[in-house]
Amino acid sequence: MTTSAGRNTRQRSAVAALLTEVDGFHSAQDLHAMLRDRGTRIGLTTVYRTLQALAEADEIDVMRPPGGEHLYRRCSDGHHHHLVCRGCGRTVEVVGPTVETWADKVAAEHGFADVSHTLEIFGTCGECMRKA
Amino acid sequence: MTTSAGRNTRQRSAVAALLTEVDGFHSAQDLHAMLRDRGTRIGLTTVYRTLQALAEADEIDVMRPPGGEHLYRRCSDGHHHHLVCRGCGRTVEVVGPTVETWADKVAAEHGFADVSHTLEIFGTCGECMRKA
DNA sequence: TGCGTTTTTGACAATCATTCTCATTTTCGG
DNA sequence: CCGAAAATGAGAATGATTGTCAAAAACGCA
């Protein structure tokens, strides 16, 4: 059931390729601009659609920072979370088996199935603390 | 240091009072409509501003469901998280000492201070599973 | 209690990311 | 190579949130 595959187009490959190269989180508009800069002819709409599809297929990560655009990122396999610096935006990937099992357990206790969750940790990193 | 208090106005009380009465999460627009219905003269802008202030003061809870408006809710004291049904939107408040300590520990390990976090658990509740 | 200062309010415009539309182009199985 | 089905993209539409700024309300103080 490759529900999320669709057809193999130049644009789709371009987005996927770009995501493999760049590090960190980027907004859809950001990615679109980068693609344009490197000469790829692609519409903003398509970037959005592609990102949505990739996110749905769990191939990329979506983060919704308070008060902003959605940010996308190719992430390492498996489920994980992010530790984000409020000052400089630097992000660290963290895995939390503890949280996973806890969330599942709690949900099950309340009769919930098909469980997923989102977790973001915000803080100020050492460097930004020194500056402030 | 009552930074978040500001002046005591009719509108501000109205929003606070409404939040005490209603259950569950509501969008700003929702709350605005309810206030209008019960005869309170208040502008949408003010509702937004008041909710923002209350959220900043940790007196209410903000949830940002995927693909939607911000939802606000008067929540019980202390830090907690939400288990939300994808089908009917019903929410259950859950506390997670496990998660709290884990998040703090992880953040500390990476040299982050002043740590906060957001966690939402999504699932399908028993009732909605039967229907589907 | 009355007055001036400062905050707050609110109608409306502005913003801005995201989604929709739909005609054109591209893909891919046969 | 052909035609049906899917994808693209430019621009319009959407819709929540934020900005603007003059008018109104609240509070401190005499």
Q: pLDDT (tens digit, 0 to 9) for every residue of chain B, 132 residues total? A: 444 567 889 999 999 999 998 888 899 999 999 999 999 999 999 999 999 999 888 888 888 777 678 888 887 666 788 888 877 778 888 887 888 899 999 999 999 988 888 888 888 899 888 876
Identify whether B5 is part of a domain. no
Domain check: are A87 and A66 in the same one? Answer: no
Measured between beta carbons, the chain A residues lying within 8 angstroms of B66 are: 64
Whether residue B58 sits in one domain with residue B31: yes
Rg (CA), chain B: 17
Cβ pair A41, A29 in contact under 8 A: no
Helix, coil or strand: residue A65: coil
SS3 B77: coil
**A62 CA vs D14 C1’ separation (Å):** 23
- Domain membership of residue A89 (yes or no) is yes
Q: B15 and B68, same structural domain?
A: yes
Same structural domain, B85 and B68? no
Asked whether the beta carbons of B124 and A118 are under 8 A apart, the reply is no
Is A107 in Cβ contact with B83 (below 8 Å)?
A: yes
**Which residue's alpha carbon is at the shortest distance from the C1' of D20?**
B45
CB A83 within 8 A of CB A123: yes
**Alpha-carbon distance B103 to A132, whole Å?**
23
Nucleotide nearest to B51 (CA to C1'): D17
pLDDT tens-digit profile of B117-127? 888 888 889 98
Q: Do B110 and A125 touch (CB under 8 A)?
A: yes
Asked whether the beta carbons of B80 and B69 are under 8 A apart, the reply is: no
Cross-chain Cβ contact A106/B118 below 8 Å: no
Mean residue pLDDT of chain B comes to 85
- Residue A118 resides in a domain: yes
Q: Do B38 and B85 lie in a common domain?
A: no
Residues B54 and B23 in one domain: yes
CA distances from B28 to A56, B46, B63, B64 (A): 28, 10, 12, 12
* pLDDT 10s digits, B42-57: 999 999 999 999 988 8
Helix, strand, coil percent content, chain A, rounded in steps of 5: 40, 25, 35
Instruction: Give the residue-averaged pLDDT of A16-35.
Output: 91
Q: How far apart are CA B74 and CA B68, in angstroms?
A: 19
How many interface pairs between A and B have CB atoms less than 8 angstroms apart? Answer: 103
User: Which nucleotide C1' is nearest A70 CA?
Assistant: C17
Residue A5 domain flag? no
Instruction: Give phi and psi for B121, each to the nearest 5.
Output: -115, 130
Distance from CA of A110 to the nearest CA of B (A): 8
Residues A119 and A98 in one domain: yes
Going by pLDDT thresholds of 50, 70 and 90, the confidence category of residue A106 is very high
Q: How many domains does chain B have?
A: 2
Of B49, B73, B97, the position where a domain reaches its end is: B73
Is B34 contained in some domain? yes
- Are residue A108 and residue A53 in the same domain, yes or no? no
Of A96, A115, A123, the CB nearest to B121: A115
B30 in a structural domain: yes
The string of DSSP letters for A66-121 reads TTS--EEEE--SS--EEEEETTT--EEEE--HHHHHHHHHHHHHTT-EEEEEEEEE
Q: Are strands B81-85 and B113-124 parallel, antiparallel or unpaired?
A: parallel
Q: Which residue of B79, B81, B112, B122 is the best one to mutate when testing the A interface, meaning the one whose CB has the most A CBs within 10 A? A: B112
Write out the residue range of the structural domain in which residue B51 sits: 10-73
- What is the pLDDT, as a whole number, of residue A50? 94
Question: A21 and A38, same structural domain?
Answer: yes
CA-to-CA distance for B100 and B20, rounded, in angstroms?
Answer: 26
Q: Report the nearest residue to nucleotide D26, CA vs C1'.
A: B7
